[in-house]
Structure 1
């Protein structure tokens, strides 16, 4: 399959997983705890099973690294140079708390770079997808359209921040000297998508994230003309790192 077909597959599966998550939400669910004390629900497991089966059925030659399989110890140990990174329910804490800021992330990595990805926001019915170097798109109730990150507006930055780290003093230090119009604190990969579509300008991330949290929205953001750089030196955010952990980074819109 070529990359356009792979992107279409990821987008379809993200939407289908989003519908399954909404069905679990409507029916009610219990919240359990994983070994690291982070929450997990039936929606995480159902969505992951749907995505993983779909990817492995259509493109069995591309390994899949998925969050819950990592927790269970069943994910591939060495996925090679090209592989999927899947977070079936990014923002489980938001989902469990009844908030709407949760996402489905399906990204493809090649040679350490996020090259394409799809992000569904089940609660709002939005889906974003993009292929680096070839553009990014969004579908919602108004239809499908191309999206693009924007240059910072003269009136000030709209800054996205994590809901669970909204009192982090590092945010104030990072923004010192910048003209800021407002700060919006929410959970999940939605923050990347708001920068990608040009409704926000900046998202600094100081806390821990995993590669499956970022691969899909990273690809969407870069496809839309934005970028991600590391906080400790400005280099690119790479993939296939030890333990799948990301360092701190900042998402930015289009350069002026």
Structure 2
């Protein structure tokens, strides 16, 4: 049964508590399409290929982690931005985007799902003083080598992670934050993690890991953030009786 677009947006906003976040982009409805939604497509990023796949599938709305209108971006609607917005408007398809709220949700969020899928236990916030609540720390069910953890991550993401550290080192306590969160490695080390996992890596991350004595793993920005939006869309489909699909567009970063 179709649901009103405004009710879908309200349900997402309440579920993800989007109003409590100070973010780099607007969370919620970014582009308004038709007033009702029966078919909901989900993706990590609202790039052109995803938009075209959503239109081809017949989506009334697309929900993503990486949407548009980022802080500091050029405001002109030209080139790539014009083409993307033109596709949405021509198809009367709505775009909803949730960035930090989807990272932080304790059940449906990217970090929560990452921990669930890898079987981490005794999960806690990586930094209890962080009001945004992104980043987690927990334990493996059984200590294992760094190489074994990397193998599990590769099996989950279907891509080989970049690993810094002794492959035979025993790992039990793990900190993680999906996406471009390599800067949290200091917090993970301070919290007693033996391994920190994020999506992306920067040049200083290698030196930090070596000098702080913590293993590090870059598992891919896109690869680590595929799971929250799927959990959210699945939850919406169950609650609001929607048909949904996940549109993956691999990104090696």
State the TM bucket, normalised to the shorter chain. under 0.3
Higher relative contact order (CA 8 A, sep 6+): 2
Under a length normalisation based on structure 1, what TM-score does the superposition of the two structures give? 0.28
Under a length normalisation based on structure 2, what TM-score does the superposition of the two structures give? 0.28
Instruction: Specify which structure has the higher proportion of strand.
Output: 1
